[in-house]
Structure 1
Amino acid sequence: MPDIDPILALRDVKFSWPGRASFGLDLPEFTLDRSESVLLLGESGSGKSTLLSLICGTITPQSGTVHLSGTDIASLSAGKRDRFRAEQIGLIFQQFNLLPYASVLDNILLPLRFAPERRARADPVTDTAKALCLNLGLPEDAINAKAGTLSVGQQQRVAAARALIGAPPLIIADEPTSALDAATQATFLNLLFAQARASGSTLLMVSHDARLSDHFDRVIHMSDISRSAMAHA
């Protein structure tokens, strides 16, 4: 029988940063279905970054639950949250966060060092990394190049391959297309969606750019899900 539970479910979550009474996140419910693509829209200060930190377990709510793949993240110790995040979540950062002097291959394989189950799913890891690079439109010889020598668009695709390798259930992309023109954005999104579908991963992209909406299965506005997102998140 197929698993119909959501991959991610936040319920009755409340969080406020210490010493910052002007900001509080009050989230009655936020869910993501398995294998869907969702665009989360919100202006700067709307709470997007705080929400991502809660999902990733880098912070925990004062109340409420954050379930990912059926596990309540807040119930885990800090060390277990780190290991769980490495296994369950692939991250694409706005600034890519690649190691510039390491090879493309080493950058892609980096998260597997902390996630043995994810590494097992990617075995043989070098062949899997090469296939991801080709599927994301990188030249075949790029795998051995130093990441810092690549163009911005190519570095972005390496960051996507690093997030996708080992088929984590959830891919989170934080403003990954902000430095790209519209044509390059569309190409990158099409490639990213194709690879996420191939791995069965849910894709959550965070942005302030509503023009991306047509590419996604579903669009969510921070203002619609949070009772109070009032200042800098």
Structure 2
Amino acid sequence: MPTPPPTLELKDVQFRWPGRAPFELSVPKLALAPAETVLLLGESGSGKSTLLSLICGTITAQSGRVAVAGTDISSLSAGKRDRFRAEQIGLIFQQFNLLPFANVRDNILLPLRFAPDRAARVSDPETEAETLCRALGLPNNVMNEQAGKLSVGQQQRVAAARALIGAPPLIIADEPTSSLDAATQSAFLELLFSQSRAHRSTVLMVSHDARLSDQFDRVIHMDDVAQTDRNAA
């Protein structure tokens, strides 16, 4: 049986911030397989945020290949990158970025409004939202609650459901467990991974907390996959 192509692939990537303090990031090679869970560890200032921005297509490299689900996003126009990101990448932000006055259901369904192909993968969006909430351990009566009134742990699970709906190939989680205690972190990751694997979605989580390592299929250190140069001319 042939090996499936990687969900995420970076090759010979070179990026330099224009018109700012000297900073250059290079990534010779990085590949993530379908349904793989990967923890990317790095200290503050190691280039994690720049790398995530390259993967999401909010910035583009001067050279090299950044491919998500087989598409080199650096070859797309800005508008097409935005559309592609909405269709192919689910995002879990550190601060969750929920709409506080919207209810849980509307928050989860929000990505589908901007991604028709992703929406087409869901036969009944409201039922899928409810199914994800139950799978992630949220109570049945939470769907009509305002997101801003939920606990931090509940908001985190709503953010995960929003990222998972429509089964995007790649889930990116940026320090999503930093505000939780160890037991809650572990429980959340178990729930997230059970759903991502069910959808065959790859998870790339960025953190500085190595204590989470045992729960992932693979752990990558920024120093092993990327080089940074703060003296780039």
TM-score range, shorter chain: over 0.9
Gaps of 5+ in 1: none
Find the counterpart in structure 1 of residue 222 from structure 2.
222
Find the counterpart in structure 2 of residue 57 from structure 1.
57
Superimposed CA distance per residue, residues 159-192 of structure 1 (whole angstroms, 9 cap, x where no aligned partner): 0000000000000000000000000001100000
Matched residue SS, 1:117: helix
C-alpha deviation, 1:141, in angstroms: 0.6
Identity rate of aligned residues, in percent? 71
Matched residue SS, 1:122: coil
How do residues 39-50 of structure 1 correspond to structure 2 at under 5 angstroms? 39-50=39-50
Matched residue SS, 1:22: coil
Gaps of 5+ in 2: none
- The answer on whether the counterparts of 1:45 and 1:229 sit within 8 Å (CA) in structure 2 is no
Report the count of equivalent residues: 231
Q: Which amino acid aligns with 1:225?
A: V
C-alpha deviation, 1:21, in angstroms: 4.4
Q: Distance in 1 between matches of 2:197 and 2:118?
A: 17
Q: Distance in 1 between matches of 2:164 and 2:213?
A: 22
Q: Distance in 1 between matches of 2:227 and 2:88?
A: 28
Matched residue SS, 2:228: coil
Find the counterpart in structure 2 of residue 87 from structure 1.
87
How do residues 195-206 of structure 1 correspond to structure 2 at under 5 angstroms? 195-206=195-206
C-alpha deviation, 1:230, in angstroms: 4.3
- The answer on whether the counterparts of 1:9 and 1:67 sit within 8 Å (CA) in structure 2 is yes
Superimposed CA distance per residue, residues 133-156 of structure 1 (whole angstroms, 9 cap, x where no aligned partner): 010000001011000010000000
Q: Distance in 1 between matches of 2:33 and 2:191?
A: 21
Q: Distance in 2 between matches of 1:74 and 1:97?
A: 26
Once superposed, what is the RMSD of the aligned Cα atoms? Answer: 1.2
Superimposed CA distance per residue, residues 61-115 of structure 1 (whole angstroms, 9 cap, x where no aligned partner): 0111111111110111111101111110000000000000000000000010111
Q: TM-score, normalised by structure 2?
A: 0.96
How do residues 65-76 of structure 1 correspond to structure 2 at under 5 angstroms? 65-76=65-76
Q: Which amino acid aligns with 1:91?
A: L
Matched residue SS, 2:204: strand
Closer, same or farther: CA 177–229 of 1 in aligned 2, 3 Å: farther
Q: Distance in 1 between matches of 2:164 and 2:118?
A: 10
Find the counterpart in structure 2 of residue 169 from structure 1.
169
Q: Which amino acid aligns with 2:81?
A: R
C-alpha deviation, 1:2, in angstroms: 5.5
Find the counterpart in structure 1 of residue 155 from structure 2.
155
Find the counterpart in structure 2 of residue 26 from structure 1.
26
Superimposed CA distance per residue, residues 32-57 of structure 1 (whole angstroms, 9 cap, x where no aligned partner): 11110000000000000000000000
C-alpha deviation, 1:122, in angstroms: 1.7
Find the counterpart in structure 1 of residue 96 from structure 2.
96
C-alpha deviation, 1:229, in angstroms: 5.2
Closer, same or farther: CA 143–3 of 1 in aligned 2, 3 Å: farther
- The answer on whether the counterparts of 1:35 and 1:202 sit within 8 Å (CA) in structure 2 is yes
Find the counterpart in structure 2 of residue 121 from structure 1.
121
- The answer on whether the counterparts of 1:10 and 1:66 sit within 8 Å (CA) in structure 2 is yes
Matched residue SS, 1:144: coil
Matched residue SS, 1:94: coil
Q: Distance in 2 between matches of 1:75 and 1:160?
A: 29
Closer, same or farther: CA 33–230 of 1 in aligned 2, 3 Å: farther
Q: Which runs of 4+ in 1 moved over 6 A?
A: none
How do residues 8-23 of structure 1 correspond to structure 2 at under 5 angstroms? 8-23=8-23
C-alpha deviation, 1:3, in angstroms: 5.7
